[in-house]
Structure 1
């Protein structure tokens, strides 16, 4: 999953304030419930020493409606002066939490990437379309625009005769030309902005015409979800339920595609590594295309929970031990950091993605692995101990 939106956190000064909030507010008391949850978290942050100006900014942001439908969460991360991350989550946290400390709590923010999909919603009728973009920051974004055709013979009528058939043909031509306008704009925008999915809904006839009119790049990411409309009065709850199902299925396929590639590369002992030591080694060299973190069973802290790494000021400056920092040229700024935070920080620093793997989905030593952009003779190689009941490995560094 793309982590580019975490880049504003790199190179920033502590303390970091992280808020992980149930932001659901559908019914009449929902907004008050969100504020009540926030007040509890705010008192905790005051006790932890979160800067006064940061708390004031968070007060303002939390008070703003999210415009999201249904249960959802929100993650906000600030440095010593400003809020740097404000992200919606498709699922609310089981318990709202907040903390202020020397490092941001990156995993809640990273999980937002795993739960999100960058998609374009196209609500189509015979005059044009409404386009709504989301960057993955929630169920629907607020970046919307309308694309209108300029042909206005819209309605076929019952009747017969040559004049009537000519009128019917003019109406058909108008539909097709208006759809062509939408298709051309859609082709351009998809090429420029690269959504993961284009979700198409609306008038059945116009939808069929558009599917034939768009180019190959749009067709490769196009999925039709019936039940939406540009007009008022549709059953929005039913449509959003169908949309959520489509997005959930897509995210499962996206995750499985990464894990399947990890299994293949691991089996070939080529562009995949596992174990904390080996992942640190390839992160130092900027080799990682996708970091893979194991998701522990519910209630379990996970294998990285108590592990610490030593880091320098740069995101790729990370080692297992303090003395190892000198070997990679780090003379100043040495400090310890929780392993999961240091790993995600390094992944963000080299434009790598992140995928979470359920327990047992792939073979991960220490609960961590990585897919690589490239490998060479110095890349760590794993030889799996077959028939072993533990997670030990022989690491052959060539």
Structure 2
């Protein structure tokens, strides 16, 4: 997961209210339930010691009307607030596994990473003979990304076989090929500017294959085709939704598998150096030096909830409170290791991946791929 979404959080010292809420509104008494849920979250924060202004900000956020175009049925939100202000309000694809409310020096970030996953953005291209419509899809968003139109004459073949008709059909073929090239160029531009990580082409087989074959080589490696759906009204959308979900899930699985393999390969080196780190002390040292490239977290690992010590700055973290005076903080506070390391990873421009039910988890459930190798100490 790219952690840039969390950048506003690391720029504020806290303490933080972290709320994971179910904001489904599909019952007749939805407004009442919404108010009760908001009041409960504010009361729980107050009991934990949160200031009144922050409690009100969370309450108001949870009772606000849904945003235009955003369905809240069976959905959730992760809210992070401090100093009387909601700094980050992130929609979730479904209700959170745990409806958690915390007040802590470091925001409770690990459940957000778990809920969002990689959440890769897919550029869906609805193709026909005359152009294409573009749409961006993720777990929590669906947005128009433009369109491209090519020549619309001639685009239809005829069934006769005389010379003039064969000449006309050749012009049809040329129009198809020209339009496919223009669509492919537009797909490349949309992909570059949209932040998408993969492409799914939908439409008739010949048309989508023509566009696929004209994409730049590096894009063909992340471009897939769907036999379902298309640009025309009434095209099969149910099975297209399934195809979008499958290609996005496949990309996430491939990325996680690659991270695990790289971690295992680094752990097995025997040349006196390592480009991975495991164990809370080693990870804290790497985080303070901004050496973490990708943080690995298993929520079930024993080290995830281990107590570490932090200050207001993301680089101020240590195994023992007594170490914090050397980092410029004389009043350190305890925090969970997974959240403290995630905050430091965000500040250092790193990525993170959540691991589940795998035998290749790092010892204790926390590990990292490093930006450069370091000597192995024993």
TM-score by length of 1: 0.83
For residues 277-321 of structure 1, give each alpha carbon's deviation from its aligned partner in whole angstroms, at most 9, with x where no partner exists.
Answer: 11111111111101111232xxxxx41354222112221221111
Q: Structure 1 residue 287 and structure 2 residue 291: aligned?
A: yes
Equivalent residues, number: 367
Deviation at residue 365 of structure 1 after TM alignment: 2.5
Deviation at residue 54 of structure 1 after TM alignment: 4.1
Deviation at residue 148 of structure 1 after TM alignment: 1.5
Residues 182 and 19 of structure 1: CA distance in aligned 2, closer, same or farther (over 3 Å) = farther
Q: Where does residue 21 of structure 1 map in the other structure?
A: 21
Deviation at residue 110 of structure 1 after TM alignment: 1.5
Name which of structure 1's ranges 243-252 and 286-295 shifts more when overlaid on structure 2.
243-252
Structure with more contact order per residue of length (Cα contacts < 8 Å, sep ≥ 6): 2
Q: Secondary structure at the match of 2:232?
A: coil
Query: How far apart are the structure 2 equivalents of 1:181 and 1:244?
Result: 27
For residues 247-301 of structure 1, give each alpha carbon's deviation from its aligned partner in whole angstroms, at most 9, with x where no partner exists.
Answer: 22221111111001100011116211111111111111111101111232xxxxx
Q: Where does residue 12 of structure 2 map in the other structure?
A: 12
Q: Secondary structure at the match of 1:376?
A: strand
Name which of structure 1's ranges 264-273 and 141-150 shifts more when overlaid on structure 2.
141-150
Residues 235 and 151 of structure 1: CA distance in aligned 2, closer, same or farther (over 3 Å) = closer
Paired residues of 1:272 and 1:370 also in contact (CA < 8 A): yes
Q: Structure 1 residue 76 and structure 2 residue 79: aligned?
A: yes
- Computed over aligned residues only, the root mean square deviation of the Cα atoms, in angstroms, reads 2.7
Question: Residues 1-398 of structure 1: matches in 2 within 5 Å?
Answer: 1-23=1-23, 30=26, 35=31, 38-47=34-43, 48-49=45-46, 50-60=54-64, 62=66, 66-67=70-71, 72-134=75-137, 136=138, 138=139, 140-268=141-269, 270-296=274-300, 302-304=301-303, 306-327=305-326, 329-331=327-329, 334-377=332-375, 381=376, 396=378
For residues 155-209 of structure 1, give each alpha carbon's deviation from its aligned partner in whole angstroms, at most 9, with x where no partner exists.
Answer: 2232221221222222222222222111112223334445221111112221011
Q: Secondary structure at the match of 1:155?
A: coil
Deviation at residue 67 of structure 1 after TM alignment: 4.2
TM-score by length of 2: 0.87
Query: How far apart are the structure 2 equivalents of 1:304 and 1:344?
Result: 13
Q: Secondary structure at the match of 1:375?
A: strand
Query: How far apart are the structure 2 equivalents of 1:303 and 1:207?
Result: 49
Q: Where does residue 391 of structure 1 map in the other structure?
A: none
Deviation at residue 241 of structure 1 after TM alignment: 1.7
Where structure 1 has 5 or more consecutive residues not aligned to the other structure, the ranges are 297-301, 382-394
Where structure 2 has 5 or more consecutive residues not aligned to the other structure, the ranges are 47-53
Query: How far apart are the structure 1 equivalents of 2:85 and 2:150?
Result: 43
